[in-house]
Amino acid sequence: MRQFPLIKYAEVSAVNRKYFDHFNNKLGSIPNLYGMLAHSEQALDAYYSLHHHALSLNTIERVIVGIVVASLNNSPYCLDSHIMVGKLNGLSNEEINQIVEGTIIFNERYHFLANLVTEIVVGKGRPREQTVQRFLEAGYTVENMVDMIVCVADTTFTNFLTCSMGVPLDIPGGNENHA
């Protein structure tokens, strides 16, 4: 697998520099995903706008979508990133392992969310009607379903980018063992 180089701060365009400055100030470094997206004058800005918008799903629900999609797409970089965000937002190692394995028992509502995400990804956008019905019966709304599909698309995009271009983990070793 070819590994494309990441854009370094000195090479970044003026348009993308604001994102590099933001992450340097906030995290002390640039996530490798952004270092790859910065090869394009427009992609980093477009992705940032998509990824950092308000949705009707809470942070844990977004993390669940990210972990499920990254697991199904076998994307080490994205799986590692979503696991890290999950841990930072209070998910235990056991809960993360359940999400990765597709066996969520710690929360019934999240179970139905993960099932629908799985069917949408595996079925290429064609979940079974009973799975959609269970999702809605669990208290989710049509707005939640639309926002979940936006999250699926967001994660699928980054899965494809990081796998196709060989984006290395931000922290070597990362969360590979989940727990």
Going residue by residue through the chain, which has 179 residues, state the pLDDT in tens, using 9 for 90 and above.
788 999 988 999 999 999 999 999 998 989 999 999 999 989 999 999 998 888 999 999 999 999 999 999 999 999 999 999 999 999 999 999 999 999 999 999 999 999 999 999 999 999 999 999 999 999 999 999 999 999 999 999 999 999 999 999 998 655 544 43
Q: What is the pTM of this model?
A: 0.92
State the Cα–Cα distance between residues 55 and 151, nearest whole angstrom: 9
Domains and CATH numbers, the chain: 9-51 (no CATH), 59-164 (1.20.1290.10)
Nearby residues of 173 by Cβ (< 8 Å), 6 or more positions away: none
Rounded Cα–Cα distance for residues 119 and 28 (Å): 38
* Phi, psi for 177 (deg, rounded to 5): -95, 5
